[in-house]
Amino acid sequence: MALYSDKVMDHFQHPRNVGKMENADGIGEVGNAKCGDIMRMYIKVDKDTQVITDVKFNTFGCGSAIATSSMATELIKGKPITEALQLSNKAVVEALDGLPAHKIHCSVLAEEAVRAAVRDYYDKNGISYGDELKACEGHCETCGHDA
Ligand code: FES
């Protein structure tokens, strides 16, 4: 069996929503100290509906980090922020038809990047949020992620 699914290869070779977003409403940047990979996620939010209308990302990292960030953007685009916050790294991995065990941490980075972008949006707009969002700052001892 191939190490990587067709979907992982597809999102790695043809990543969706790549690039920098001018005038983003929220920007999240996270990194993994062990592998040195960095992911930056930009979101545009409709202030009336709190729906994420556009997403972009830049990832300086491995193929799995690129594939998971690409898939994460697809999964949250057009969704209400509250739904985007529910996005787990597991859901990203499932949507990609799996990742090798030693690459699961790459999907954690994608989940964290989404949360960091939402947190930045909340901060900029004076919207309060719970401890679970405060705790998740690019490491994840608090929520138990193997980051
Ligand atoms: Fe670091 Fe994939 S090896 S995010």
Q: What is the pLDDT of residue 130?
A: 85
Measure the CA–CA gap between 53 and 50, rounded to whole angstroms. 9
Residues designated as active site? 35, 106
Q: What is the pLDDT of residue 141?
A: 42
The model's confidence at residue 1, banded by pLDDT at 50, 70 and 90, is low
Measure the CA–CA gap between 85 and 91, rounded to whole angstroms. 12
Q: Is residue 121 part of a domain?
A: yes
The model's confidence at residue 135, banded by pLDDT at 50, 70 and 90, is low
Domain count along the chain = 1
Q: Is residue 144 part of a domain?
A: no
Q: Is residue 57 part of a domain?
A: yes
Which candidate, 120, 57, 60, places its Cα nearest to that of 92? Answer: 57
pLDDT in tens, 63-99: 999 999 999 999 999 999 999 999 999 999 999 999 9
Q: Is residue 10 part of a domain?
A: yes
Q: Is residue 37 part of a domain?
A: yes
From the CB of residue 83, how many other CB atoms can be counted at a distance below 10 Å?
14
Ligand 1 atom, smallest distance to 64 CA:
2
Q: Is residue 142 part of a domain?
A: no
User: What CATH number did the domain enclosing 13 receive?
Assistant: 3.90.1010.10
Å from CA of 82 to ligand 1 middle: 27
pLDDT in tens, 117-130: 999 999 999 999 88
**Phi, psi (deg, nearest 5) at residue 46:** -75, 115
Q: Is residue 135 part of a domain?
A: no
In this structure, what DSSP letter does residue 86 have? T
Å from CA of 26 to ligand 1 middle: 23
Q: What is the pLDDT of residue 44?
A: 98
Ligand 1 atom, smallest distance to 35 CA:
1
Pocket test for ligand 1, best of 3, 12, 29, 32 (most atoms within 8 A of CB): 32
Residue nearest atom 2 of ligand 1, based on CA coordinates: 106
Question: Which tokens hold the place of 75?
Answer: 């999964």
Measure the CA–CA gap between 9 and 40, rounded to whole angstroms. 21
Domain range for 31 is 6-127
Model pTM? 0.90
Burial of 76 (0-12, 13-18, 19+ CB in 10 A): buried
Question: Which tokens hold the place of 102?
Answer: 């030693």
Q: Is residue 20 part of a domain?
A: yes
